[in-house]
Amino acid sequence: MGLYAGLLLDSIVSGVLVGGFYAAMAVGISIAFGMLGISNIAHPALILLGSFIAYVLNSRFGWDPILVGVLATVPFYFLGALLYTAYEFAFERRGTQLIRGLAFFFGLLFITEVGLQLIFGVDYRLVEAPYIGPSYNIGPVSLPVRMLIPFLASVLLLIGLQLFFTRTFTGRAIMAVAQDKFALQLMGAAPVRIKRIAFGISTATASLAGAFLIILQPVEPSMGRDYIGRIFAICVLGGIGSLPGTFIAAVIVGVAESITATFYGPSWSPAIAFGFLLIALVVRPAGLFGRA
Amino acid sequence: MSNGRFILLACLVGVALVGASTFVTNEYYVFAAYFVLQYVVLATAWNILGGYVGYVNFGTTAFLAIGLYSAAALNKWLDLPIPVLIPIAGVLCGAVGLAMGYLTIRLRGVYFTIATLALSVVVQTFITNWDYVGGSRGIYIMRPSEIPVFGTYVAYLFFLMTVLAVAAVVTARVIERSTFGFGLAAIRDDETAAAASGVPVLRLKLIAAAISGALMGMAGAPLPFYLTYVEPTSSFSLAYTVNSVAMPLVGGTTSWLGPVIGAVLLGTMQQAMTVLISSSVNLLVVGVLLVIFVIAAPNGILGLIRSIRGKKPDPETNPLAAMLVAEKRSSQ
Q: Chain A: which residues have CB within 8 Å of chain B?
A: 33, 39, 41, 86, 90-91, 94, 96, 98-104, 106-108, 110-111, 113-115, 117-118, 222, 225-226, 228-229, 232-233, 236, 267-268, 270-271, 273-274, 277-278, 281-282, 285
The whole-angstrom distance between A131's CA and the closest CA on chain B is: 32
Cβ <8 Å between A106 and B242: yes
Burial of A108 (0-12, 13-18, 19+ CB in 10 A): buried
When pLDDT is averaged across residues B212-234 and rounded to a whole number, the result is 89
Q: Residue B296 — left, alpha, or beta (φ > 0 → left; ψ -120 to 50 → alpha)?
A: alpha
Q: What angle do CA B14, B169, A102 make, to 5 degrees?
A: 140
What pLDDT is recorded for position B230?
87
Span of A209-223, B19-33, B84-98 with lowest mean pLDDT: B19-33
Q: Are strands B146-147 and A135-138 parallel, antiparallel or unpaired?
A: unpaired
Please give the residue of chain A at the shortest CA–CA distance from B136.
A267
In angstroms, the Cα distances linking A31 to A25, A75, A129 are 11, 18, 31
| DSSP letter assigned to residue A222 | G
This prediction has a pTM of: 0.87
More confident residue, B189 or A288: B189
pLDDT band at B296 (very low <50, low <70, confident <90, very high): confident
pLDDT number for residue A91 = 83
Mean pLDDT of chain B: 85
Closest-CA residue to B254 (of B173, B165, B192, B168): B173
Q: For residue A145, give the DSSP letter.
A: H
The strand pairing partners of A137, in sequence order, are A142
Please indicate whether, in this complex, the C-beta atoms of B56 and A99 are within 8 angstroms of each other: yes
Strands A141-144 and A135-138: antiparallel
Q: Please, what is the average pLDDT of chain A?
A: 86
Option in A91, A96, A281 nearest B115 (CB): A281
C-alpha distances (whole Å) from B161 to each of A229, B90, B153, B220 are 32, 14, 12, 10
Torsional sign, CA B80, B84, B85, B88: negative
pLDDT at res. A265: 81
Please give the Cα distance from A267 to A122 (Å, whole number). 20
Nearest to B246 by CA among B42, B33, B35, B34: B42
Average pLDDT over residues B169-188: 91
Enumerate the β-bridge partners of residue B152. B146
Residues of A in contact with B253 (CB under 8 A): 99
Q: What is the percent of chain A with per-residue pLDDT over 70, rounded to a whole number?
A: 92
- B290:A110 CB<8 A: yes
In this structure, what are the phi and psi dihedrals at residue B106, rounded to the nearest 5 degrees?
Answer: -75, -25
A194: left (phi over 0), alpha (psi -120 to 50) or beta: alpha
- Segment A34-46 mean pLDDT: 89
| Set of chain B residues whose Cβ sits within 8 Å of the Cβ of A110 | 238, 242, 283-284, 286-287, 290
Cα distance between residue B188 and residue B181, in whole Å: 11
Question: Which tens digit of pLDDT belongs to each residue from B117-159?
Answer: 888 888 888 888 888 887 778 888 877 766 777 778 888 888 9
Task: For residue range B259-275, list pLDDT tens digits in order.
Answer: 999 999 999 998 888 87
> Which of the four pLDDT bands, split at 50, 70 and 90, describes residue B332?
very low
| Residue contact A110–B287, C-beta within 8 A | yes
- Contact flag B284-A115 (C-beta cutoff 8 Å): yes
| B contacts of A274 (beta carbons < 8 Å) | 118-119, 121-122
pLDDT digits (tens, 9 = 90+) for A219-264: 998 888 778 888 888 888 888 778 899 999 999 999 999 988 888 8
- Mean pLDDT is lowest, of A47-51, A175-179, A223-227, for A175-179
Does pLDDT of A119 surpass 70?
yes
Cα A150 to Cα A16, B96, B176, B190, distances in angstroms = 12, 38, 52, 45
What is the nearest CA distance from B96 to chain A, expressed in angstroms?
Answer: 14
Where residue A199 falls among pLDDT bands split at 50, 70, 90? very high
Amino acid at B142: M
Burial class (CB in 10 A: 0-12, 13-18, 19+), A148: middle
pLDDT tens per residue, range B15-74: 888 888 877 777 788 888 999 999 999 999 999 998 898 888 988 999 999 999 999 888
Task: List residues bridging with A287 in a β-sheet.
Answer: none
Query: In Å, how far is B51's CA from the nearest CA of chain A?
Result: 9
Asked whether B134 and B232 are in contact (CB, 8 A), the reply is: no
Q: How far apart are CA B220 and CA B201, in angstroms?
A: 29
Would you call A41 and B114 a contact, using CB atoms and an 8 Å cutoff?
A: yes
Considering only the beta carbons, identify the residue of A96, A98, A114 that sits closest to B283. Answer: A114
| Rounded Cα distance, A232 and B113, in Å | 11
